[in-house]
Structure 1
Amino acid sequence: MRDHNHDHDRCLAQAMAETPQCADLHEHPQGGVSRRWLLTAAGLAGGGGLALGGLPALPAAANPDDLPGGAGWRPDRDDQRFTLVVMPDTQYLFDNDRVHPAPLDASLRWILENSREENIVFLTHLGDMTQNGLVSDFAAIGKSFEVLDRAHADYSVLAGNHDINSGTDDQRGNTPYLQAFGPQRFSRSSTFGGASPDGYNTYHVFRAAGRQWLVLALDWRPSATGIAWAQSVIDKHPKLPVIVTTHEIAFADDAGEAHLSDFGRQLWDNLIVKNDQIFLTLNGHFWPPGRTVLKNNAGHDVHVHITNYQDRYFGGGAMIRTYRFDLSRKTIDVRTFSPYMQSIAEERRSELERLEVELTDPANAFSVPIDFGARFNGFDPVPVRGPRPARAVVVPGTLAYWRFDGAADGSPVLQGKIRDQSGNGNDLTRVSLGGGDAALTYSNDHHSDQPAHASLHFLGGKNPIRGAYLRTADDAPLNKATFERGYTIEAFVKLPSDFDDGSHAWCGLLSRMGSGRDAGKTGADPSEPTGTLNLDSGGAAQWAVFPRNQNDIITNWSHLLPKNQWWHIAVVNDGTHSVMYIDGCPVVGNPSTPANGIVTTGEFWMLGAYDYDRIVEQSFYGWLGDVRVVGRALSVREFLIAK
């Protein structure tokens, strides 16, 4: 573990014009001594802004209107993907007469230039902005940050131990840090929420992915008063997920496993563990980088991350870390790289510069799986969509609509009819293949957007044939439908974890009795049914039909459907082509061959079964929710999952 706890640690710079280097001794956070190496610039009179070792110097600031990507700061606040940028200790770039703003300028420029493509919503600096906390240090770094101010970019900063007198807490009074980066700097920021009375603790609320997020930027040593202020901020925003940023919380071992420091343990006990809203903490100060996951009082995960690169070449070169939130994928993807080193032409990069372009080891490039809805449900529960009556989803053109509510969970589906809710008389009755009453039962399990909060649980299989399915009557109107004007077929499905090809491949969700041969089709495999929605051996959905205008089968394929998860499957034909959708998203396996209608032998439809050469070999294995058949093409916004 490496730290830099001393108030005025120094590298004994040699009076060389190029690459001075030296060693420093520092206290371990739990006691003991560790050694670190660093590179700094030699003390050069009037040397502010000089670049060493052939590194290109960039202008200290630029008008955001001149930056690629356009002017201003306009992230997409509703996109389910957004980026939080984290910048740790920049202190060696702003060290008395050793001032090198170019790396920081490059990072800030990258943020502005990529703000739209990366949907960057916020930048947070983790402290130790400067080495000595001098007025001149803050004048230099303050000038660099002006580019963000002019662009109205949203960011937070906080004081590290080198920015102030490290032996004091947030009641220390006025300092050059407070003069340069106190609350007055953020008075025109749209995300700035306020500051503690002393000015050293601030909070910021940004909007992303359609909701608000709260960032607490806490001082190097928040006092009891500061902690009480932070708690009051959380209390005033009881439904917002909270990211805590401060200079010190955790250190990491050489394996990248983070551990709370002594002060971090105090902050954990007095604030973090008690507030379920805090799901992520970020700190610098120590190196190497690392992370861990701790449990709060509610039993939920708190992700604790340390990121710091000042020990690396050129003081880390203002290296940044991007946290790419993807709420749809329930993941945060993390990258660590140096825009400054990237800006140097590859053929001009030195050996040391090449090492800093991007860090791809597991401590610096990783993904964090988070089910955001479940994690935030304790303080901001997602409204559960209630059941919708059949009349609300029997849209014009509905030919059949089957749902399975109204029965006790686990009760068997016996010989009574399951009524067609469309009113067209396409009622269903049970057909048994073996396995007893338990082979087909009612279930309360359902897709979250399903109109009926119920499903059927099928326990079908083969070798031996077992299970049960449902079928329409011989005189059901749906049996004669040819769908020449198009159709939409929807079904909700969930596969169990033990769905496998040996026992369950090609079990049908919805099929027509009667082969292609029976309907006069001779192409492909005429023993296949005239139309079937089923599942292959890996759990991919297949829609295979003999259209009226083709002699061969036309097939749509989905990707493999992950198991133990509900999915909405829809097949839409506009009279010319068929498109399959999974949860409202078109799949890649949609054919371009024209397909009009579905041929029929006039025989019954089966729910939960598939026949080959007129033989039902097994029934479905899994859960099947609402099924709707409409005699026209529906848009995605008309699907059963539409809000």
Structure 2
Amino acid sequence: MPGPRHTGRREVLRAATVVAAGSAAVGITGAGSAAGADGHKVSAQGHKAGAQSHEASAADNVAAAHDRPAPDNPRFTLAVMPDTQYLFDGASINKEPVEAALRYVVEHARGDNIVFLSHLGDLVENGRPEEFAPISDAFRVLDRRGAGYSVLAGNHDIDARTDDQRGRTPYLDAFGPKRMRGTPTFGGASPDGYNTFHTFRAAGRGWLVLALDWRPSAAGIAWARKVVARHPRTPVILTTHDLVYADGAGGEARLSENGQRLWDELIDGNDQIFLTLNGHYWPAARTVRENAAGHDVHLHLSNYQDRYFGGSGMIRLYRFDLARNTIDVSTFSPWLLAKAPGRRNALERREVELTGADDSFSLPLDFEKRFAGFAPVVPRRPRPAARMLVRGTLAYWRFDGGGQDGSPADQALRVRDLSGRGNDLVRAPVPGSPADALRWSAEHHPDQPAHGSLRFEGGRPPLRGALLRTEKGAPLNTATFRSGFTVEAFFKLPADWASSRNAWSAILSRQGTLAAAGKEGDPAEPVATLSLSDGHALQWAVAPLDQDRNVTNWSHELPLGTWWHTAVVNDGRHTTLYVDGCPVARNPATSANGLTTLGLSWLLGGYEYDGALDQLFCGWIGDVRIVGRALPVGAFMNAHS
């Protein structure tokens, strides 16, 4: 559906915009070096790649070298594999669905940033060595790629009448600590070997997976509590075989008898446990319980052994998105997905993907709020001005040294240019405006160097508000930026910002019209402006030295009531507009070198049309920096490098 129509004189600028599309690679997963070749490699299309060979081994080594987790990507994926027991039942061995699922994980690791896989127990039906041998072989798909994963014993993997003190079993021989030590995420095991913990880094922080036995003993639970205590700031995902169940499809999950014990003795009192995953029962279900700290714990059951072909190697992907505060969940069979649609039988066609409310859903989760009790986000400290004076800084203004929060700024306000180049800002009079049209504020962007801003109360009609300008004779007034530039600003628009009052206000603009500069376009427009459109999108509209008319970059419409960082970067050839370090879509491919100047002032918070003040900014402006060269994103004022 097309967006809202924007009308007025700025239409001519929109028409002049040339869009250049771009793309960015996302994170990958897998770690460590490959340990050998995959004997029967299956692609996403289901084609076998042949027998074990030196060529396959080399390919695996190359893939493993490149498939590393993207630890700072705010999006990552946890893969979950529930009960596979019916595929490994005595003489009935069907390891292909599990192999296909594990290959899917490693082959899609890069695109989905899959950082870990958890098996939820009941790997096999009867706990026999001849059943564990083929599924153990299947898991070498992950071993060869150095991928992180966990397994745990279900009641069919061991003697169900025993707890984790049962001693040696075929399960422990196949998937015990000796094997797990070879994975990059293994953190340790309980002395009996049946309980393990695993850690990985994703979305810029550490995460911990507890993999608990079918029946953890008192010693096992005490061990788990110690593991959590040794990682006091780490969010924990608890995996075990038996925790919650539901009476029927669509029913809300409830704690089982064993689940109630785990809740009482481990989950309830450990706020770090925010998500639990279990199998054993069917149908799939979920619920939310409040722990002793008053926070939500999400309890999820997934098990598809009752479905066609023992669940067809179903996996569930938990796609964590910390930028959206959401976990998106999907459930499907990679084995069936890899088959050509025409080759699937009547029952397989029903099982490719499950779309029920408990199989495919989005879980809203404010991660920062949920983890605040044990890992509060420490506000970024102010950074001294000297650290912001990168090579080529021409002007740097910040507003943390003024009056008290909310107090009016002096009518004779002067803001020093901290670059030392003499580009001070002074307040310009706006007749009829109240004294508090410009106020000091303690508000600031969380990544802003200075913890302060100016609150501008601008708008029209009638035109009222405040602005600052560079003094006559300031070096910045005549700068042409032929070698490129970077213009940065932090700003926030109030929730009551309205197009009728506040449209086409400028954060920063340059005096002088296109007509006076001999440029084409709307003759009354200024030669440079960083403005907000009638739809509160950013507009960088300037007259480059090498063009006969102005060139415009546009952002998307920015939500109100939110602090933003913007940067405009010109490398001497083209200009790119960024919002919070991200390039926008409508960056023109048009050549753009330098900025036209008539030797007049730059305005902060003011915008002129036809040489007369036309609009005043409404909102907060934080640090502003102008550099006479193109800066990389990692050198922006909001960067964490």
| Structure 2: tracts of 5 or more residues without a match | 1-45
Q: What RMSD, in angstroms, separates the aligned Cα atoms of the two structures? A: 3.0
Q: 2:242 aligns with which of 244, 248, 259?
A: 248
Compute the displacement of 1:228 (Å): 0.9
Distance 2:88 2:432 in 1: 78
CA distance in 1, matches of 2:431, 2:128: 83
Letter in 2 for 1:623: W
Deviation digits for residues 364-419 of structure 1 (CA, Å, limit 9, x no counterpart): 33344445455444434455432222222223433322110023211122212222
- How far, CA to CA, are the matches of 1:149 and 1:635 in structure 2? 38
1:413 to 409, 412, 421: 409
| One-letter identity of the residue aligned with 1:161 | N
What amino acid maps onto 2:276 in structure 1? T
Q: How far apart are the structure 2 equivalents of 1:294 and 1:585?
A: 38
Q: CA deviation at 1:613?
A: 2.2
Partner of 1:77: 69
Matched, 1:264 2:259: yes
The residue aligned with 1:34 is none
In 2, the alpha carbon distance for the partners of 1:427 and 1:236 equals 53
Q: Which residue of 2 aligns with 1:600?
A: 597
After superposing the two structures, state which structure 1 stretch, 282-291 or 253-262, moved more: 253-262
Residue in 2 that maps onto 1:342: 337
Q: Which residue of 1 aligns with 2:507?
A: 509
Shift of residue 362 of structure 1?
A: 4.1
CA contact (8 A) 1:73 1:115 kept: no
CA distance in 2, matches of 1:389, 1:613: 39
Contact 2:122/2:154 (8 A) holds in 1: yes
Distance 1:181 1:487, change over 3 A: closer
* Paired position in structure 2 for 1:584: 581
Matched, 1:232 2:226: yes
Give the partner amino acid of 2:630.
A
Is the partner of 2:220 in helix, strand or coil? helix
Cα distance in 1 between the residues matched to 2:76 and 2:559:
25
| Kept after mapping to 2: 8 A contact 1:479/1:605 | yes
- Taking the TM superposition and a 5 Å limit, the aligned residue runs for 1:209-608 are 209=203, 211-252=205-246, 254-255=249-250, 257-406=252-401, 407-415=403-411, 416-423=413-420, 424-432=422-430, 436-521=434-519, 523-608=520-605
Q: Verify the 8 A CA contact 1:57 1:102 in the aligned structure 2.
A: no
Moved more, 159-168 or 122-131: 159-168
1:139-161 alpha-carbon deviations (Å, 9 max, x no partner): 44334334444544332111223
2:56 aligned partner: 66
For residue 170 of structure 1, the aligned residue among 140, 164, 172 is: 164
| Alignment partner, residue 8 of structure 2 | none
Q: 1:153 to 1:405 in 2, by over 3 A?
A: closer
1:199 and 1:491 map into 2 onto residues whose CA distance is 55
* Paired positions, count: 587
1:44-63 matches, within 5 Å, as none
Aligned partners of 1:641 and 1:433: how far apart in 2? Answer: 36
**1:268 to 1:511, Cα distance in 2 relative to 1, 3 A:** same
Superposed counterparts of 1:596-635, under 5 Å:
596-635=593-632
Q: Secondary structure at the match of 2:136?
A: helix
The alpha-carbon deviation at position 229 of structure 1 amounts to 0.8
Cα distance change, pair 480–183 in 1 and its aligned pair in 2 (3 A):
closer
- Is the 1:240–1:277 contact (alpha carbons within 8 Å) kept by the matching residues of 2? yes
Q: 1:409 to 1:292 in 2, by over 3 A?
A: farther
Q: 1:327 Cα deviation (Å)?
A: 4.3
The structure with the largest alpha-carbon Rg is 1
**Are the structure 2 counterparts of residues 572 and 177 from structure 1 closer, same or farther at C-alpha, using a change threshold of 3 Å?**
closer
How far 1:76 sits from its partner (Å)?
1.8
Which amino acid is the alignment partner of residue 392 of structure 2? G
Q: CA deviation at 1:452?
A: 0.8
| C-alpha distance 641-286 of structure 1, shift in aligned 2 (>3 A) | same
Match of 2:633 among 629, 636, 643: 636
Distance 1:103 1:596, change over 3 A: closer
In structure 1, stretches of 5+ residues that fail to align are 1-55
Q: Classify 1:446/1:258 alpha carbon distance in 2 versus 1 (closer, same or farther; 3 Å).
A: farther
1:111 equivalent to 2:105? Answer: yes
Residue 557 (structure 1) shift? 1.0
Cα distance, 1:232 vs structure 2: 0.7
The structure with higher relative contact order (CA 8 Å, sep 6+) is: 2
Distance of 1:177 and 1:427 partners within structure 2: 73
| Counterpart amino acid of residue 248 in structure 1 | D
- Give, in angstroms, the shift of residue 59 of structure 1: 12
Corresponding letter in the other structure for 1:76: R
SS at match of 1:379: coil
What is the Cα deviation at residue 60 of structure 1?
13
**CA 1:131/1:208 → structure 2, altered by over 3 Å: closer, same or farther?**
same
Distance change in 2, residues 1:206/1:65 (3 Å): farther
Contact 1:62–1:147 (Cα < 8 Å) also in 2: no
Q: 1:116/1:551 Cα in 2 relative to 1: closer, same or farther (>3 Å)?
A: closer
For residue 364 of structure 1, give the secondary structure of its aligned residue in structure 2: coil
Distance in 2 (CA, whole Å) between partners of 1:634 and 1:460 is 31
Any idea what the Cα deviations from partners look like across 1:295-319, whole Å, max 9, x if unmatched? 4344444332222212221121111
In the superposition, the TM-score normalised over structure 2's length comes to 0.84
